[in-house]
Amino acid sequence: MLMRIYGQRNILFSKVVLGCYTYTKGVSHLISGSASLRFSRGFDESAMLGFSSTPGDNLRSLPKSDSLRSYQVVVAATREMGIGKDGKLPWRLPSDLKFFKELTMTTSDPEKKNAVVMGRKTWESIPLEYRPLPGRLNVVLTRSESSKITTGENVVICGSISSALQLLAEVPYCFSIEKVFVIGGGQIFRETLNAPGSEAIHITEIDTSIECDTFIPAIDLSCFRLWYSSKPLVENGIRFSFATYVRVGTAATLSPLTSEVKSNGDSNSNDFDVKNLTFLPMMILERHDD
Ligand SMILES: NC(=O)c1ccc[n+]([C@@H]2O[C@H](COP(=O)([O-])OP(=O)(O)OC[C@H]3O[C@@H](n4cnc5c(N)ncnc54)[C@H](OP(=O)(O)O)[C@@H]3O)[C@@H](O)[C@H]2O)c1
């Protein structure tokens, strides 16, 4: 039996079946073969992690930890950094949905999957028939212990961003999950976009003015540099392009899984040391070469 003690705190109600493991808050058990999954975690862990999950907390304030998984952000935003309206996407861009699916689903190792981390409202904005997003581990964040999120295979619920990133850094996910993508929405992006664990930002830059009610901060260009930008496309009268920014210069060493990217120090330069960019998805590396 694999047993791991997280602390002496009260066990609330967490349980997961991971194909081969169940985790109970505080203790994890190796089990054999079970089908459906429910995992809830992190509701009473924030103190242990030195981090409160109240609104406004930011991963910037987290102490560096070897046990948090790094991640890449995927977002579509207007020039004003608008990302949503009335709980939905305020545009219809089939090419962007295709890009999102390909980016978040593709793995270089066919034995592995990627994880997508999202807030509860973004989860609820996905039509029932399309969730969980197939072929990916769906990690849903909520602070509510009595959340009505319907769980099942490939759905994990976490009570804080740090507990999600910690979970993904642990067995079995450190082996079974190839990449972690944070996919929204506003509250989650505000805490993760420029935080130290964010190693790349894949942004669909929407160049047409569209009314939004959910906004995110600008990309911090003292930490990130443009690696790739596509030619502009137009769909449904909306002009947009795909861009990828990668973390440069400042410490991106939140975890051993985070790669630090070095540039030649010229802030306008696109002269990256490509061998340090192996964490980028192959489709992004290939796009850059096009
Ligand atoms: N353009 C894009 O790329 C994109 C991508 C995704 C979503 N969106 C849009 O963004 C909008 C939704 O964004 P939103 O800001 O309203 O909601 P959201 O970030 O998707 O979800 C917010 C919820 O997540 C939970 N949460 C937030 N921070 C947490 C933390 N630190 N720890 C644990 N749980 C946490 C809370 O759930 P509880 O209330 O259950 O505690 C909170 O109410 C929609 O319009 C959607 O279409 C746009």
Sketch out the chain's domains with CATH numbers: 38-53+65-289 (3.40.430.10)
Q: What is the pLDDT of residue 183?
A: 98
- 28 beta partners: 23
Distance from the CA of 118 to the center of ligand 1, in angstroms? 7
Q: What is the pLDDT of residue 275?
A: 66
Distance from the CA of 132 to the center of ligand 1, in angstroms? 16
Distance from the CA of 168 to the center of ligand 1, in angstroms? 19
Confidence of residue 150 (pLDDT cuts 50, 70, 90): confident
Which is more confidently placed, 33 or 158?
A: 158
State the chain's maximal CA–CA distance in angstroms. Answer: 58
Whether 52 has a pLDDT exceeding 70, the answer reads no
Mean pLDDT over 162-171 rounds to 97
Whether 103 has a pLDDT exceeding 60, the answer reads yes
| Tens-place pLDDT, residues 247-286 | 985 544 333 334 444 444 444 445 566 667 889 999 998 8
Question: Over the chain, what is the mean pLDDT?
Answer: 76
Confidence of residue 135 (pLDDT cuts 50, 70, 90): very high
Q: What is the pLDDT of residue 277?
A: 87
Q: What is the pLDDT of residue 152?
A: 79
Instruction: Please indicate whether residue 45, judged by its CB atom, sits closer than 6 Å to ligand 1.
Output: no
Cβ–Cβ under 8 Å, residues 64 and 245 = no
CB atoms within 10 A of CB 105: 15
CA–CA distance, 65 with 49 (Å, rounded to integer) = 9
For the CA atoms of 102, 105, 106, 111, the dihedral, rounded to the nearest 10 degrees, stands at -160
Whether 161 has a pLDDT exceeding 70, the answer reads yes
Q: What is the pLDDT of residue 41?
A: 52
Mean pLDDT over 30-58 rounds to 34
Instruction: Please indicate whether residue 161, judged by its CB atom, sits closer than 6 Å to ligand 1.
Output: yes
Whether 55 has a pLDDT exceeding 80, the answer reads no
Instruction: Please indicate whether residue 107, judged by its CB atom, sits closer than 6 Å to ligand 1.
Output: no
Instruction: Please indicate whether residue 188, judged by its CB atom, sits closer than 6 Å to ligand 1.
Output: yes
Confidence of residue 148 (pLDDT cuts 50, 70, 90): confident
Q: Report which residue type is found at 3.
A: M
E strand segments, the chain: 21-24, 27-30, 40-41, 71-78, 82-84, 113-119, 136-141, 155-158, 177-184, 198-206, 214-215, 224-229, 233-235, 238-247
Mean pLDDT over 221-249 rounds to 94
